[in-house]
Amino acid sequence: MRNSWDPIAEMRATNRALKRQMMRDLDVMSRRQLLRRGGTLVAGASAASILFKAGIPLHASAQEETPPLPEYGEIPENLMGSGEVRVQSWGGAFQDAQREAYFQPFQELTGITVIESEGPDPSQIKAMVDTGNVEQDVVQMDRADVIFLLQQGDYWEPIDYSLFDVDNIAEYHRFEYSVDMLPYATVIGYRTDAFPEGPAGQADFWNTEAFPGPRTTSGGTGGVTPFLEAAVVAAGTPMDAIYPIDLDAAFASLGALRPDVVRFWEAGAQPAQMLTDNEAVMAHSWNGRTHAIMQEGAPVDVQWNEAQLATDVWAIPKGAANAENAQKFAAFITLPVSQARLSYLIPYGSVNAASAELMTPEQLATLPTSPEYLEKMWVRDIDWWVENLETVLNTWNEWILS
């Protein structure tokens, strides 16, 4: 018998593929940095690993001086241990960066051996827990996947925040069964040759009279979701009143913009490429993608005002053999130094507010969690999206065909 189609499961699987590609695209960024610096690849080494060993952040230009990564001082005694922890992340240059930033220091400073793997998949976690054969201790996930599994049963260990630097980790980064670890933003990217002053926020993204030209924003296919939050903010909803999203108002706002949307993108590379090719003069885009084309010399800049902050999480599968070490690992990588070291290497933010003190103003200017930007953003409400995803997708499918 043929299984019924599950649009939510399909979107989640596609979203994981997009996330994997987003992380692995750092390989391309690092290769370009290496070539600009006159380096060559050697057998068995990625461009990223060579740059990291040289202390060269991926988001530095060829002319910038690259300060060394912040060094660890004493770490909390309660993070010390023995044995091992099995860590699963997304692979590629991103995992190279994690290894340099905090996997290796964790191993050296705590006495706990890190065993790495790639390719987090909630369906595999479910199967492991169901069979009692849990092969991972801590995994990097989208929090939506953590929530979806929680709706099906007891699949995750609660996070032990007594080990964490909670004084510097905001409450919106802490959840019972996961902890945030990799903030990124959806921003307005725009061509500076079209708009030297640039838009001030989402209302200007919608204002095609004052800012004429083709736009691109995310759609509801390919694993991404329509940017409903931006649509209601553009229509006048305050950032602190976005959720619950008024779907009628959101789709009415999207309808007003629709004639000027040259494409509703469904892959993260598309909006950055469209800005580069001048196919669009404004785009809703992930900050890392936009930053990459800016580093390549595209006449593009970013408006951080009214951007959306989201993040991946660490989660510990129920019954993990090394759950205690997994708790220590998650606490260690959210320390100020750990978070700052990763932000030195890739243009993603920090969940620990104290890490800003370890970075230069120039570095902070590229990061979504710069203190200057945070008050200008809203945080994506994953709980709302989990509860309403099917309704949004059904509404999108009807709307896009109308």
- Residue 79 has, within 13 A of its CA and on its CB side, a CA count of 22
- Cα separation, 254 vs 180, whole angstroms: 30
Identify whether the C-beta of residue 177 lies closer than 8 Å to the C-beta of residue 315. Answer: yes
pLDDT tens readout for residues 28-60: 555 555 444 455 555 545 555 554 554 555 555
Nearest to 254 by CA among 221, 228, 282, 284: 228
Q: 36-40, 110-114, 130-134: which range is least confident on average?
A: 36-40
**pTM for this one?**
0.86
Pick from 73, 17, 95: which is nearest to 345 by CA? Answer: 95
- What are the Cα distances from residue 360, in Å, to 65, 290, 292? 11, 20, 19
- Closest by Cα among 254, 176, 157, 162 to 215: 254
Ordered domains of the chain (ranges, CATH): 76-183+311-379 (3.40.190.10), 185-310+382-400 (3.40.190.10)
Q: 165, 101, 119: which is closest to 352 by C-alpha?
A: 165
Measure CA of the first residue to CA of the last residue in the chain; give whole Å.
Answer: 33
For 47-94, how does the pLDDT look when each residue is reduced to its tens digit (9 = 90+)?
Answer: 555 545 545 555 555 445 566 899 999 999 999 999 999 999 988 778
pLDDT in tens, 257-290: 999 999 999 988 899 999 999 999 999 999 988 9
